């Protein structure tokens, strides 16, 4: 029999519905949404999150996880409000990357259980990045941009690479950006020492986003503005940010949000296998990471994060004073719009899966609903 879900408010990309009543059919799809002022629920509903940059969680790295282990990751992400995500690679030997892409393509094409976050594509971070801004990416495996190699990666992924991070200043990068964009892959500028002129050339070639803004980028300078100034200034670009208070100071989070606005800012976690786990030693790609006091470190550099998307949304509200609806937009609608998936993700209308996050009256995430079923936290 159909079930109903009620709340004080429902935040959707188009605005807010007061006193919503959502009818869910037996298949877990939205049958209808209407407003009923007699509904006295104090809950607030939002769309679920879409994390376009995560390397793993719950002790598993997406590049190495078996199907069963990836299911553990999926279930953990679901408890933190994530309905969809892009498993993200890190620079590794070519053969290992090809194997990982094949495995992740299997996951994208498999039927995801109703209580799990769903991988909807792959984010290829590396190997076409800058040695100068490599972060923890292994230098021996960083390669110059190569269209033929990218095509091999996409063939292994069976067309499921939806996002790729590229440093635009490297010879051959602009040709690869244009090639990838022409074939429907969103290109993100990242791990880059680019000047503002080189960043603008990348945007002209088809780049449409920036990977973890401020991190692994040439520093902002008032006379030689560099890539960060272009990322903040150019309205053609979306811009990711890791909102954990570790990767980016709260004052810079506020600057980023003022510059990009509620339509082009994107929250990501850049989480690695230690997310949701105690301090200790974990894996990111081919190397070990030491996690302590909320920081994931390798060779003196930050190595991803232990952030979860529910905390990113809470942190954004705390750092910037943004309302819940805005914070959720940055974690759901905006990444979906970047990927061209806004009609099927973060858009609760009749016929779509009943995927919602439930917040209490004080804005605390208390439950995730996927396919009409409540996920236990």
Q: How confident is the model over 59-75, as pLDDT tens digits?
A: 999 999 999 999 999 99
By CB neighbour count within 10 A (0-12 exposed, 13-18 middle, 19+ buried), where does 98 fall?
middle
CA distance linking residue 97 with residue 289, whole number of Å = 19
CA–centroid distance for 251 within its chain: 22
| pLDDT: which is higher, 1 or 85 | 85
Region of poorest pLDDT, from 26-40, 212-226, 257-271:
26-40
Percent of the chain with pLDDT over 90: 94
- The answer to whether residue 339 scores a pLDDT higher than 90 is yes
CA distance linking residue 7 with residue 19, whole number of Å = 6
CA–centroid distance for 9 within its chain: 25
Sheet-wide strand order for 9-12 = 15-18, 9-12, 44-46, 356-359, 365-370, 373-375
Query: In the beta sheet, which residues pair with residue 301?
Result: 298
What class, spelled out in words, does domain 48-340 have in CATH? alpha beta
Percent of the chain with pLDDT over 70: 100
Q: How confident is the model over 110-156, as pLDDT tens digits?
A: 999 999 999 999 999 999 999 999 999 999 999 999 999 999 999 99
pTM above 0.85, yes or no: yes
Residue 344: pLDDT band (50, 70, 90) is confident
Residue 373: pLDDT band (50, 70, 90) is very high
Name the residue among 364, 377, 375, 358 with its Cα closest to residue 5: 358
- Considering the candidates 51, 61, 270, 355, report the single residue annotated as catalytic: 270
- The answer to whether residue 279 scores a pLDDT higher than 90 is yes
Query: In the beta sheet, which residues pair with residue 295?
Result: 292
Residue 329: pLDDT band (50, 70, 90) is very high
Three-class secondary structure of residue 240 per DSSP: strand
- What is the per-residue pLDDT for 376? 73
- How distant, in Å, are the alpha carbons of 10, 182, 349 from that of 37? 13, 48, 20
Q: 288 and 298 in contact (C-beta within 8 Å)?
A: yes
By CB neighbour count within 10 A (0-12 exposed, 13-18 middle, 19+ buried), where does 67 fall?
exposed
- What is the per-residue pLDDT for 336? 98
Three-class secondary structure of residue 326 per DSSP: helix
Residue 269: pLDDT band (50, 70, 90) is very high
Q: What's the first-to-final CA gap in the chain, in angstroms? A: 25
Three-class secondary structure of residue 56 per DSSP: strand
Q: Dihedrals φ, ψ of 218, to 5°?
A: -50, 135
Three-class secondary structure of residue 72 per DSSP: helix
Q: 122 and 157 in contact (C-beta within 8 Å)?
A: yes
- Binding residue positions for Zn(2+): 125, 191, 212
CA–centroid distance for 90 within its chain: 14
Q: Dihedrals φ, ψ of 256, to 5°?
A: -55, -45
Q: Is 300 left (phi over 0), alpha (psi -120 to 50) or beta?
A: left
Residue 270 among the catalytic residues: yes
- What is the per-residue pLDDT for 236? 98
- What is the per-residue pLDDT for 347? 87
- What is the per-residue pLDDT for 332? 97
| pLDDT: which is higher, 40 or 158 | 158
CA distance linking residue 197 with residue 111, whole number of Å = 44
- Binding residue positions for substrate: 136, 215-216, 223, 247, 302-304
Mean pLDDT of 287-302: 93
Mean of the per-residue pLDDT values for the chain? Answer: 96
Three-class secondary structure of residue 84 per DSSP: strand
CA distance linking residue 289 with residue 38, whole number of Å = 53
- The answer to whether residue 377 scores a pLDDT higher than 80 is no
Q: Where are the domains of the chain?
A: 3-44+360-375, 48-340
Q: How confident is the model over 165-187, as pLDDT tens digits?
A: 999 999 999 999 999 999 999 99
By CB neighbour count within 10 A (0-12 exposed, 13-18 middle, 19+ buried), where does 109 fall?
exposed
Q: 266 and 312 in contact (C-beta within 8 Å)?
A: no
- Binding residue positions: 125, 136, 191, 212, 215-216, 223, 247, 302-304
């Amino acid at each position: 029999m159909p079930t109903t879900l009620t709340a004080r408010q429902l935040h959707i990309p188009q605005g807010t519905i007061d006193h919503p009543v959502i009818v869910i059919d037996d298949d877990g799809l939205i049958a209808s949404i209407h407003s009923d002022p007699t509904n006295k629920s104090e809950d607030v509903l939002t769309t679920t999150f879409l994390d376009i940059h995560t390397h793993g969680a719950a002790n598993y790295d997406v590049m190495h996880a078996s199907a069963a282990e990836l299911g553990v990751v999926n279930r953990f992400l679901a408890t933190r409000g994530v309905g969809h995500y892009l498993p993200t690679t890190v620079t590794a030997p070519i053969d290992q990357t090809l194997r990982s892409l094949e495995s992740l393509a299997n996951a994208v094409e498999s039927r995801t259980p109703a209580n799990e976050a769903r991988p909807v594509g792959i984010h290829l971070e590396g190997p076409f990045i800058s040695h100068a801004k490599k972060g923890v990416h292994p230098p021996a495996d960083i390669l110059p941009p190569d269209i033929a190699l990218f095509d091999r990666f996409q063939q292994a992924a069976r067309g499921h690479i939806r996002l790729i991070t590229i440093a635009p200043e490297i010879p051959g990068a602009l040709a690869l950006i244009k090639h990838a964009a022409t074939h429907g892959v969103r290109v993100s500028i990242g791990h880059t020492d680019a000047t503002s002129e080189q960043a603008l050339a990348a945007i002209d070639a088809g780049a449409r986003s920036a990977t973890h803004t401020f991190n692994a980028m040439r520093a902002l300078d008032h006379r030689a503005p560099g890539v960060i100034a272009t990322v903040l200034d150019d309205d053609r670009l979306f811009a990711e940010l890791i909102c954990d208070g570790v990767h980016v100071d709260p004052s810079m989070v506020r600057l980023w949000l003022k510059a990009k606005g509620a339509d082009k800012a994107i929250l990501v976690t850049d989480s690695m296998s230690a997310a949701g786990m105690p301090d200790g030693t974990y894996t990111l790609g081919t190397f070990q990471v030491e996690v302590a006091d909320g920081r994931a470190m390798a060779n003196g550099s930050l190595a991803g994060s232990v952030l979860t998307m529910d905390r990113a949304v809470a942190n954004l509200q705390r750092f910037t004073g943004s309302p819940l609806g805005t914070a959720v937009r940055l974690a759901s609608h905006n990444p979906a719009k970047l990927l061209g998936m806004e009609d099927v993700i973060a858009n609760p209308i009749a016929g779509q899966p009943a995927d919602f996050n439930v917040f209490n009256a004080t804005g605390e995430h208390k439950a995730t609903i996927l396919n009409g079923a409540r996920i236990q936290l």
